[in-house]
Amino acid sequence: MINLYVFRHGQSIYQCLRVISGLHEFGLSALGKYQTYNLASRTDVDFEIAYISDTKRTIETFEMLKLAGKMPSEENCIFTPLIREKCQGDFIMQEFKAFPDDPNKRNFTPKNGESWEDVQVRVSKTFDFLVRRYLYLQKEAKQDDDELVKALFQQSEHIESKKNNIILVTHYGFIKEIVQYLKKADQLQLEQPYFAQNATLFTLQLFLKENESWQAKIISLNSYTRQYRPFMD
């Protein structure tokens, strides 16, 4: 079984500015760092393996989780572009309101960017990797795997896990597509849309069925502490 903890990064500076982020950014706001540390300090999970999106806001989130003593040893922490946020292409560095996003147009692709379907392809590759590596215990990539998946197999070759407590440090859009992917596969039954808030945990269990297929079970949505504004009643 895999205990999969999907963590959305804390509030970023570009979120405060209402600006679309790319790879070139300022990282987390002070509140974002506090959100992350506060939740981590209240979490009693022993994370054994971490996969972190290689953007500044997720790397700083990882650093705050590490400061709280919640990250595994360095050799079990792997940074990967496979779990990045949806690339908004030429809309990066523009205000949120400039993006003509229609949630019903899943194939809309901004120039030099990705569609939601493109992100779901990355989600599918990520889950395929996790299931093969930690449920089926395969340590080698297939010849037809893409280069990012091959890199994950290579980087994870040395990892031995007792509980398979795995954390993904990622983004709203990637988590949104995890939910879409699992719903499409009849793995999740959610009546309402799921919105991953800043510095929250989305927790799943992945396990093998008798026919050697796998199944996902939702454990929690938006586990968080109430530190979403600097001052609260």
Using DSSP, state whether 11 is helix, strand or coil. Answer: coil
The answer to whether position 49 is within a domain reads yes
The answer to whether position 211 is within a domain reads yes
Report pLDDT digits (tens) over 171-208.
Answer: 999 999 998 898 887 666 665 556 788 999 999 999 99
Please report, for residues 47, 138, 142, 212, the alpha-carbon distance to residue 174 in angstroms, rounded to integers and kept in the order given.
20, 25, 24, 27
DSSP state of 33: H
Indicate the pTM of the whole model: 0.90
Q: Which residue, among 170, 227, 194, 208, has the nearest Cα to 2 in the 3D structure?
A: 208
- Can you tell me the mean pLDDT for 7-18? 93
- The kind and range of the H/E element at 3 are strand 2-8
pLDDT for residue 233: 23
Whether pLDDT at 84 is above 90: yes
For residue 125, the enclosing domain spans: 2-164+175-223
For Cα atoms 3, 71, 176, give the angle at the middle one, nearest 5 degrees.
50
The domain that contains 57 carries what CATH number?
Answer: 3.40.50.1240
Please report, for residues 74, 116, 126, 222, the alpha-carbon distance to residue 104 in angstroms, rounded to integers and kept in the order given.
41, 10, 24, 24
The answer to whether position 189 is within a domain reads yes
* Count of domains observed in the chain: 1
The answer to whether position 230 is within a domain reads no
Rounded to whole angstroms, how far apart are CA atoms 70 and 62? Answer: 9
